């Protein structure tokens, strides 16, 4: 578990703040990470973007942004925030690079979890 937390810190996550948020319970934090990595809002957002349902995409992305922020997953939150802001301002052209960045960051998180838990 410590190696996972060290890797996340090196990736740019604020692990001390995240651990403080869960009152020092590192196991709880890791459980939350596992749940978030498989959050259905990732699939909902991808589907909504594909279908050009930008309201649904915004809602799913906004939910993901909140959880990423609470877990102090800065690299993932940054990617998701960029998409949320595009959708908030109804800027719907050229969203693919935003989704590609989110997908890559999520994959990175999943790989950290697979390798280190």
Which pLDDT tens digit goes with each residue over 4-14?
Answer: 999 999 999 99
Whole-model pTM? 0.92
Q: Which residues contact 33 (CB under 8 A, 6 or more apart)?
A: 71, 73, 109, 113
CATH fold of 2-116 reads 1.20.120
Q: Which residues contact 24 (CB under 8 A, 6 or more apart)?
A: none
Q: So where are the chain's domains?
A: 2-116
Spatial neighbors of 108 by CB under 8 A, at least 6 apart, are: 11, 75
Average of per-residue pLDDT values in the chain: 95
One DSSP character per residue, 102-116 reads HHHHHHHHHHHHHHH
Question: Given this model, what pLDDT does residue 117 score?
Answer: 53
pLDDT given for residue 115 in this prediction: 78
Confidence of residue 116 (pLDDT cuts 50, 70, 90): low
């Amino acid at each position: 578990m410590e190696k996972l937390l060290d890797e996340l810190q090196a990736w740019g996550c604020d692990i001390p703040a995240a651990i403080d948020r869960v009152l020092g319970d590192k196991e709880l934090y890791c459980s939350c990470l596992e749940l978030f990595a498989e959050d259905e809002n990732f699939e909902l957002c991808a589907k909504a973007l594909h279908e050009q349902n930008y309201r649904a995409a915004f809602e799913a992305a906004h939910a993901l942004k909140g959880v990423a922020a609470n877990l102090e997953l800065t690299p993932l939150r940054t990617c998701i925030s960029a998409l949320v802001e595009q959708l908030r301002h109804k800027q719907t052209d050229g969203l693919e690079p935003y989704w590609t960045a989110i997908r890559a960051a999520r994959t990175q998180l999943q790989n950290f979890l697979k390798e280190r838990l």
